[in-house]
Amino acid sequence: MIPTLVSVVVILVAFLNGVQNEDNIQPCAKVQTSSSVVPLGSPVTATCFIRDDCPLVIGQAVHIEWHLGNRFIPSSPVASESGSISKVVIPNFNHTRAFLTCCIQASLLQVVGGVEIRAGYPPEAPQNLSCQTNLTTPNTLTCSWSPGRQQTHLLTKYTLHTEIRESNENRTYELQTGADHYIIPRSDFVLFSEMKVYIKADNELGEATSVPVVLEPVSAAKFDPPKILKVETVPKMYGCLKLRWNLSQHQSWMSVYRLNLEVRLKPAESSQWSKPILGSPVKPTRPVDLCHLHHGTQYFAQIRVSYQQSPWSEWSSSQSGVTLESAPTGRLDSWMKVSGDHMHKQLHMFWKPSKQFRANGQNVSYIVSVQASPGEKGKVCSTMGNYCTFQLPSKAKKVYLRAVNAAGKSRPTEVQISQTKARWVISNITAIPRGDHSLLVQWQSNDTFCLTGYVVEWRPLLKSDLSLIQFEIADQNQSSLVISGSIEPYKPYGISVYPRFKDGIGPPKTVNAYSRQKAPSMAPKIRMKKTWRSHIELTWDEIPLGQRNGVIQSCRVFYWAKEGPINVVNVDPEERRVILKDLNTVSLYEAFIMVSTSGGSLNGSTIHFEVEPFDAVTIVMIVMVTGVGLSLFIIVMVMTCFSNHKTLKGRFWPVVPDPANSSIKRWTSESTEDTHPSWDNEEPNPIYLSHLSFLDLPIKLSKEEDDLWLNDAEDTSDLGESICGSPCIPGYSNSGSVPYATVIFSGPCISPPPKEPHFYLRSESTQPLLETEESFSPKCYQNIGTDEMQREQCFFGPCDDYVPEGEPDPVIHWDDFPFLQALVMNDTEND
């Protein structure tokens, strides 16, 4: 619109500056060019002629200037008498549209003439012309093409031309600007007659025609997807199916013609379609036989059709059929784990079809037995799964695995029973993702001399079903394997590698892996466990395995005070606790935890906490309690130090007597109580012995009682209460000790000292009292006292050296009686 307005303005200005006569007004100048439409980038030449009678140049020197748009262009004058001709050459016209004006320099610059120049490209020939017939109602012929990548910058016209040779009928169809397809109605073509189709494009710089297409409309027809009527089992023909089909209802009239047919098949357990099978042209009324298929296998079939060179139709919907069954063939790959002792072996056996195995049936079961011959005898397991756990007979060294279907049994697969060997061969194992549905397992072995191979086993950790366990057998020279069975992203898998020996299976090396990781689905919630001083302990629960989405590599706790810096603490993922130290007791803190895997991170919810400081009341109470307690302690200590109470002092400062200076002086009620040293007398208490026992007896022993004692003198180990454990002397214990002698009183230990002499009984201890003692037979022992006490008391058996009263006492060597020497009784009161 703007270039048009500029052109009008230039013409008006030229006419206003023109010469007026009686008839009309003529412009002062005329501009001539070689062409007003030129190829883009080509040179342009223009000449301006000034009329001699132009009022702008009468009586004045003529000065001509050229302008292309608003830009000045230098020119060269042409030799003439008046100098009113000027010529300009533009070497490279790179505008798609511009105005070239001729101007006269008078008092003002005046436009006296001009011309519009347009530039562009000639059209390209349309490419990729094709036509397709639609046989549905209504029938049409659709042709499409590509107009070309280059823009012409000029108005380009496209037309579609058709020529029917048999009827010499030619048609032309005007196309809209920018159109790339056109639909020819059914009335303008004949299905079984050849026709020529081409596209023509033209503009002001030229024209171009596409490569013509010669076709028979029915040969360019794309049929609707055909329909499979039925897939039948062929009787007495193993591995064959019969397929019956037809065209759609709108194209059933084509059933009398032979059509091209392609079939593709897919076993029921597979997700991949086979390569299409192209048969010879066939009429839809005739069925098609498909052979060389697996026995007893369910197949899904799809078909598509075409006519001569026409494009293929879309694939039909699927229909299934089953071939005839036969007995299974081929081997089964298996491996086992043995647990329990040699008497009760528990066997876990897994298997899968090998590349050569053919089930040849639909309902296949598996039998494990300890006999190679078929039959129920020796069968230990029968299942339709891929594993079996059973108790193995103690003498069995191998088992036999068979596949069974309705048509028969396969040949047995012999499986040796391998014992578990404690041979740690595999030193390292890693699992690297190789896509969303596969993992590369790599391992290293220390010693491969005795190895026969490896077993790589993997299972999903989120499920415990044994049927989900999968395995692969690897050669002894292998150190890596790509596993891809049922691997899903963001799910954890346990992968184990077992070494295989000639005589058993070694312990595995296991690793957990993900084929792809992402941020965890949840973050743990932080809890405050306890606070003290300026510290606080935070804890959280473990993330469930199913929501980790990867291996948790790090946990970081972020915490900050209001308007304070952010602090970060890295925590071991296994710890699940952290202690934040050096916190300000007057600030409110915020914290959250971030858990990360190699695939991303997730932040938990934010919690608020503060460390409670000690208030003034608490501090005063602590100081008061501490002061009162310290004061009481000092008072007690001072009173104890300056007290004259002997018992009180003895409680705090007991005096341990010197055993070398200890002796029994008297037996009184005071001597059996807690006795402490006299503060006025420096002599230590003489009653502290290494071991002393007391036995309370009646005031006077009768003759019968004396005889009883004499008769029962053989068992005296339990007489009396040990002084170490006697209630008369607290603080001592005789646990684990054996007394050497027992001191027998004629009265209780709290009674006044008796007048009768004391008795001494020997214990049943087997430890000798004397180093020179040769026999354990009881001997006669004596009480040694003052001169008034001359009578002997014998309680350990008959006294061989007994002498009647009045005879002198025998000489006693006290060095031979180290323990009895401590029992010297002195009745002197002031000793």
Q: How many CA atoms lie within 13 A of 55 on its CB side?
A: 11
pLDDT means per 10 residues, the chain with 831 residues, are: 41 43 64 88 89 77 84 75 77 90 82 90 90 85 85 88 86 88 90 90 90 90 91 91 91 87 92 89 90 92 91 93 92 85 77 90 89 76 90 80 91 86 88 93 86 92 91 92 90 94 89 94 90 86 93 93 89 91 85 94 90 63 83 83 65 62 48 44 45 48 44 43 39 46 50 51 49 45 44 44 49 60 49 44
Q: What is the pLDDT of residue 80?
A: 56
**Dihedral of CA 809/810/815/818: which sign?**
negative
Q: What is the pLDDT of residue 711?
A: 45
Q: Could you check whether the bond before residue 138 is cis, i.e. omega within 30 degrees of 0?
A: yes
State how far the Cα of 11 lies from the Cα of 6, in Å rounded to an integer.
9
Q: How many CA atoms lie within 13 A of 517 on its CB side?
A: 23
State how far the Cα of 591 lies from the Cα of 604, in Å rounded to an integer.
9
Q: What is the pLDDT of residue 375?
A: 67
DSSP 76: E
**Residue 93 near residue 44 (C-beta atoms within 8 A):** yes
What does the radius of gyration of the chain's CA atoms come to, in whole angstroms?
61
Q: What is the pLDDT of residue 428?
A: 92
DSSP 249: G
CA distances (Å), origin 395, targets 344, 363, 392, 501: 10, 33, 8, 21
**Residue 168 near residue 284 (C-beta atoms within 8 A):** no
**Dihedral of CA 803/804/810/814: which sign?**
positive
Instruction: Give Cα 184 distance to the centre of its chain.
Output: 60
**Residue 186 near residue 221 (C-beta atoms within 8 A):** no
Residues 6+ apart with CB under 8 A from 365: 382, 383, 384, 403, 404, 405
* 3-state SS assignment for residue 26: strand
Which amino acid, residue 593?
I
**Dihedral of CA 389/394/397/400: which sign?**
negative
3-state secondary structure 147-208: CCCCCCCCCCEEEEEEEECCCCEEEEEECCCCCCEEEEEHHHCCCCCCEEEEEEEEECCEEE
Which amino acid, residue 300?
F
* 3-state SS assignment for residue 598: coil
Indicate the pTM of the whole model: 0.52
